Amino acid sequence: MATGDPMSGLETVILGALTILLLFWLQPGLKAAIARGKQAPSDWQSVILPLGLVVMFVIFLIAMV
């Protein structure tokens, strides 16, 4: 193990294997969610309005510094 290395090689391999297993386990639900999302009507205003408010708030905070 290298000095300052937070994870050993075995831990990295186990974490990678668990990540791949999780992706395979969630795959059917993700496919169904994507299919439902393609059929749903798009409503961009519900995304743009909160995003714009957050951007304006961040600009306000930066201006206050």
| Phi, psi at 40, each rounded to 5° | -75, 145
Output the pLDDT for position 3.
Answer: 59
Give ∠ CA 55-30-16 in degrees, rounded to 5: 90
In the numeric block, the tokens 């201006």 are attached to 63
Residue 47 CB partners (closer than 8 Å, separation 6+)? none
Per-residue model confidence as pLDDT tens digits over 35-57? 998 888 888 888 999 999 999 99
Output the pLDDT for position 61.
Answer: 97
29-38: list long-range contacts, CB under 8 Å, 24+ apart.
none
The count of C-alpha atoms lying within 13 angstroms of the C-alpha of 18, restricted to the half-sphere facing its C-beta, is: 6
Q: What is the pTM of this model?
A: 0.45
Residues in the chain: 65
